[in-house]
Amino acid sequence: MNKNVLKLYRKFRSVGIGGIYGQNAMDCLRNARIVDEFENGEYSNNLRIIAEEESDNYFDVMGRNCISEKEDKRQEEIIERLGNWCVSAQYRLSDDSDWIHADSIGMCTGYENPASPFENGYVPDLMKSAIDALKKEMDDTRGIKTLNPVGPSAQIVKLNSGNDRNGNPKRVFVRLIGGRADQAFDEGYRGTGAIPKAIQNEYKGLIFDITRSDYNHYVKNYTIKK
Protein backbone atom coordinates (compact mmCIF):
# COMPACT_ATOMS: atom_id res chain seq x y z
CA MET A 1 0.00 0.00 0.00
CA ASN A 2 1.58 3.30 -1.06
CA LYS A 3 1.44 6.41 1.11
CA ASN A 4 -1.32 8.07 -0.89
CA VAL A 5 -3.55 5.00 -0.77
CA LEU A 6 -2.96 4.81 2.96
CA LYS A 7 -3.93 8.47 3.34
CA LEU A 8 -7.10 7.95 1.32
CA TYR A 9 -7.92 4.77 3.23
CA ARG A 10 -7.66 6.58 6.55
CA LYS A 11 -9.90 9.35 5.27
CA PHE A 12 -12.55 6.84 4.15
CA ARG A 13 -12.34 5.15 7.54
CA SER A 14 -12.72 8.53 9.22
CA VAL A 15 -15.61 10.01 7.22
CA GLY A 16 -17.19 6.79 5.99
CA ILE A 17 -18.29 5.98 2.43
CA GLY A 18 -20.82 8.46 1.16
CA GLY A 19 -20.91 9.95 4.66
CA ILE A 20 -22.02 6.64 6.19
CA TYR A 21 -19.83 5.77 9.14
CA GLY A 22 -18.75 2.31 10.17
CA GLN A 23 -17.81 1.00 6.72
CA ASN A 24 -15.60 -2.07 6.80
CA ALA A 25 -11.89 -1.88 6.09
CA MET A 26 -12.02 -3.81 2.82
CA ASP A 27 -14.57 -1.42 1.27
CA CYS A 28 -12.56 1.59 2.38
CA LEU A 29 -9.34 0.09 0.98
CA ARG A 30 -11.05 -0.72 -2.33
CA ASN A 31 -12.31 2.84 -2.68
CA ALA A 32 -8.94 4.29 -1.69
CA ARG A 33 -7.22 2.33 -4.45
CA ILE A 34 -9.82 3.40 -7.02
CA VAL A 35 -9.53 7.09 -6.10
CA ASP A 36 -5.73 6.89 -6.14
CA GLU A 37 -5.68 5.33 -9.61
CA PHE A 38 -8.25 7.83 -10.87
CA GLU A 39 -6.34 10.84 -9.54
CA ASN A 40 -2.71 9.70 -9.79
CA GLY A 41 -2.59 6.73 -12.17
CA GLU A 42 -1.24 6.37 -15.69
CA TYR A 43 -4.39 7.78 -17.30
CA SER A 44 -5.39 10.35 -14.65
CA ASN A 45 -5.22 13.29 -17.10
CA ASN A 46 -7.82 11.56 -19.26
CA LEU A 47 -10.36 10.87 -16.53
CA ARG A 48 -12.82 13.18 -14.83
CA ILE A 49 -15.92 13.33 -12.66
CA ILE A 50 -18.39 16.14 -13.36
CA ALA A 51 -21.59 17.20 -11.64
CA GLU A 52 -24.29 18.90 -13.70
CA GLU A 53 -27.62 20.22 -12.52
CA GLU A 54 -30.41 17.75 -13.23
CA SER A 55 -32.75 18.70 -16.05
CA ASP A 56 -35.63 16.65 -14.58
CA ASN A 57 -37.57 17.58 -11.47
CA TYR A 58 -36.67 15.35 -8.54
CA PHE A 59 -40.26 14.61 -7.56
CA ASP A 60 -41.33 13.96 -11.15
CA VAL A 61 -38.81 11.13 -11.20
CA MET A 62 -38.85 9.87 -7.63
CA GLY A 63 -42.47 10.63 -6.78
CA ARG A 64 -43.91 12.08 -3.61
CA ASN A 65 -45.05 10.64 -0.28
CA CYS A 66 -42.45 7.87 -0.48
CA ILE A 67 -42.20 8.07 3.29
CA SER A 68 -44.32 10.99 4.45
CA GLU A 69 -45.34 14.54 3.55
CA LYS A 70 -42.96 15.77 6.21
CA GLU A 71 -40.08 13.93 4.53
CA ASP A 72 -41.07 15.40 1.15
CA LYS A 73 -40.93 18.88 2.66
CA ARG A 74 -37.50 18.18 4.13
CA GLN A 75 -36.31 16.93 0.74
CA GLU A 76 -37.58 20.11 -0.96
CA GLU A 77 -35.55 22.19 1.49
CA ILE A 78 -32.42 20.12 0.84
CA ILE A 79 -32.79 20.50 -2.94
CA GLU A 80 -33.38 24.23 -2.58
CA ARG A 81 -30.20 24.57 -0.51
CA LEU A 82 -27.84 22.07 -2.16
CA GLY A 83 -29.33 21.38 -5.59
CA ASN A 84 -30.17 18.23 -7.51
CA TRP A 85 -27.34 16.79 -9.57
CA CYS A 86 -26.40 14.25 -12.20
CA VAL A 87 -22.86 13.01 -11.60
CA SER A 88 -20.96 11.54 -14.56
CA ALA A 89 -17.67 9.76 -15.09
CA GLN A 90 -15.92 10.55 -18.36
CA TYR A 91 -12.73 9.61 -20.15
CA ARG A 92 -10.88 10.66 -23.27
CA LEU A 93 -8.34 8.90 -25.45
CA SER A 94 -5.91 11.83 -25.70
CA ASP A 95 -5.48 15.36 -24.42
CA ASP A 96 -7.09 16.82 -27.56
CA SER A 97 -9.93 14.32 -28.05
CA ASP A 98 -13.54 14.58 -26.95
CA TRP A 99 -14.71 13.38 -23.55
CA ILE A 100 -16.65 10.10 -23.65
CA HIS A 101 -19.39 9.14 -21.20
CA ALA A 102 -18.63 6.04 -19.11
CA ASP A 103 -21.33 6.01 -16.43
CA SER A 104 -23.56 8.35 -14.44
CA ILE A 105 -25.99 8.58 -11.55
CA GLY A 106 -28.80 11.09 -11.35
CA MET A 107 -31.00 12.61 -8.65
CA CYS A 108 -28.04 13.22 -6.32
CA THR A 109 -29.19 15.49 -3.51
CA GLY A 110 -27.94 16.36 -0.06
CA TYR A 111 -24.28 16.84 -0.97
CA GLU A 112 -22.13 19.92 -0.51
CA ASN A 113 -19.93 18.43 -3.26
CA PRO A 114 -21.81 15.74 -5.22
CA ALA A 115 -18.64 14.82 -7.15
CA SER A 116 -16.67 13.96 -4.01
CA PRO A 117 -16.01 10.25 -3.38
CA PHE A 118 -16.09 11.01 0.34
CA GLU A 119 -19.56 12.56 0.24
CA ASN A 120 -21.27 10.71 -2.59
CA GLY A 121 -20.94 6.95 -2.15
CA TYR A 122 -21.62 6.35 -5.86
CA VAL A 123 -18.55 8.26 -7.03
CA PRO A 124 -15.89 5.54 -6.45
CA ASP A 125 -17.90 3.14 -8.63
CA LEU A 126 -18.28 5.84 -11.29
CA MET A 127 -14.52 6.35 -11.21
CA LYS A 128 -13.97 2.61 -11.63
CA SER A 129 -16.30 2.57 -14.64
CA ALA A 130 -14.30 5.31 -16.35
CA ILE A 131 -10.97 3.64 -15.56
CA ASP A 132 -12.16 0.29 -16.95
CA ALA A 133 -13.70 1.85 -20.07
CA LEU A 134 -10.55 3.81 -20.88
CA LYS A 135 -8.29 0.79 -20.37
CA LYS A 136 -10.47 -1.28 -22.68
CA GLU A 137 -10.39 1.39 -25.38
CA MET A 138 -6.60 1.65 -25.06
CA ASP A 139 -6.25 -2.12 -25.35
CA ASP A 140 -8.56 -2.20 -28.36
CA THR A 141 -6.56 0.55 -30.04
CA ARG A 142 -3.29 -1.29 -29.53
CA GLY A 143 -4.88 -4.42 -30.98
CA ILE A 144 -5.65 -2.74 -34.32
CA LYS A 145 -2.40 -2.67 -36.25
CA THR A 146 -3.73 -1.89 -39.72
CA LEU A 147 -6.82 -1.49 -41.85
CA ASN A 148 -5.23 -3.17 -44.83
CA PRO A 149 -6.81 -6.62 -45.04
CA VAL A 150 -8.03 -6.39 -48.61
CA GLY A 151 -5.25 -5.89 -51.10
CA PRO A 152 -5.46 -3.43 -54.01
CA SER A 153 -9.16 -3.76 -54.81
CA ALA A 154 -12.00 -1.84 -53.20
CA GLN A 155 -13.75 -3.37 -50.21
CA ILE A 156 -15.99 -2.03 -47.45
CA VAL A 157 -15.41 -2.85 -43.79
CA LYS A 158 -17.57 -2.06 -40.80
CA LEU A 159 -15.97 -0.23 -37.86
CA ASN A 160 -17.72 -0.60 -34.53
CA SER A 161 -17.29 1.74 -31.56
CA GLY A 162 -20.39 0.57 -29.68
CA ASN A 163 -23.18 2.87 -28.57
CA ASP A 164 -23.35 6.28 -26.96
CA ARG A 165 -24.89 7.06 -23.55
CA ASN A 166 -28.37 7.10 -25.09
CA GLY A 167 -27.96 3.77 -26.84
CA ASN A 168 -27.44 5.23 -30.32
CA PRO A 169 -25.11 3.12 -32.51
CA LYS A 170 -21.70 4.53 -33.33
CA ARG A 171 -20.70 2.33 -36.25
CA VAL A 172 -19.46 3.33 -39.67
CA PHE A 173 -18.84 1.56 -42.97
CA VAL A 174 -15.50 2.58 -44.50
CA ARG A 175 -14.65 1.95 -48.15
CA LEU A 176 -11.02 1.01 -48.57
CA ILE A 177 -9.18 1.26 -51.87
CA GLY A 178 -5.77 -0.34 -51.83
CA GLY A 179 -6.11 -0.64 -48.07
CA ARG A 180 -6.63 3.11 -47.60
CA ALA A 181 -9.83 4.82 -46.46
CA ASP A 182 -11.64 6.48 -49.34
CA GLN A 183 -15.25 7.02 -48.15
CA ALA A 184 -17.27 6.56 -44.97
CA PHE A 185 -20.97 5.85 -44.47
CA ASP A 186 -22.34 6.27 -40.97
CA GLU A 187 -24.50 3.23 -40.23
CA GLY A 188 -27.02 4.87 -37.88
CA TYR A 189 -30.08 2.62 -37.74
CA ARG A 190 -29.97 1.73 -41.44
CA GLY A 191 -27.61 -1.22 -41.34
CA THR A 192 -26.09 -1.99 -44.74
CA GLY A 193 -28.68 0.38 -46.22
CA ALA A 194 -26.27 3.16 -45.31
CA ILE A 195 -24.01 1.95 -48.14
CA PRO A 196 -24.96 3.14 -51.65
CA LYS A 197 -26.63 0.29 -53.55
CA ALA A 198 -24.10 0.44 -56.35
CA ILE A 199 -21.27 -0.66 -54.04
CA GLN A 200 -23.09 -2.72 -51.38
CA ASN A 201 -21.57 -5.88 -52.84
CA GLU A 202 -18.15 -4.65 -51.64
CA TYR A 203 -19.15 -5.30 -48.03
CA LYS A 204 -18.31 -8.89 -47.11
CA GLY A 205 -19.15 -8.74 -43.41
CA LEU A 206 -15.69 -7.81 -42.13
CA ILE A 207 -15.94 -5.94 -38.80
CA PHE A 208 -13.28 -4.20 -36.67
CA ASP A 209 -13.75 -2.85 -33.14
CA ILE A 210 -12.41 0.70 -32.91
CA THR A 211 -12.38 3.58 -30.44
CA ARG A 212 -14.92 6.39 -30.41
CA SER A 213 -12.17 8.78 -31.41
CA ASP A 214 -11.41 6.72 -34.54
CA TYR A 215 -15.13 6.52 -35.31
CA ASN A 216 -15.39 10.32 -35.13
CA HIS A 217 -12.31 10.62 -37.33
CA TYR A 218 -13.77 8.54 -40.17
CA VAL A 219 -17.21 10.13 -40.01
CA LYS A 220 -15.75 13.63 -39.97
CA ASN A 221 -13.04 13.22 -42.60
CA TYR A 222 -14.38 10.61 -45.04
CA THR A 223 -18.11 11.23 -45.24
CA ILE A 224 -19.01 12.87 -48.54
CA LYS A 225 -21.29 15.85 -48.03
CA LYS A 226 -24.51 15.67 -50.01
**What is the pTM for the complete model shown?**
0.60
The model's pLDDT over 195-213, given as tens digits with 9 standing for 90+, comes to 999 999 999 888 888 889 8
Please state the rounded mean pLDDT for residues 9-16: 87
- pLDDT at 104 (0 to 100): 94
- pLDDT at 142 (0 to 100): 43
- pLDDT at 139 (0 to 100): 55
Cα-based distances in Å from 166 to 104, 139, 159, 172: 12, 24, 19, 17
- The backbone torsions φ and ψ at residue 74, rounded to the nearest 5 degrees and listed phi first, read -65, -40
- pLDDT at 155 (0 to 100): 84
Give yes or no for a contact between 47 and 131, defined as CB atoms under 8 angstroms apart. yes
Q: Which residue has the higher pLDDT, 26 or 93?
A: 26
Residue 151 has pLDDT above 70, yes or no: no
Residue 226 has pLDDT above 80, yes or no: no
CA dihedral 110, 114, 116, 117 (to 10 degrees): 70
The model's pLDDT over 44-67, given as tens digits with 9 standing for 90+, comes to 999 999 999 988 888 877 777 666
Residue 175 has pLDDT above 80, yes or no: yes
The model's pLDDT over 81-135, given as tens digits with 9 standing for 90+, comes to 888 999 999 999 778 788 999 999 988 888 999 999 999 999 999 999 999 999 8
**CA-based end-to-end distance of the chain:** 58
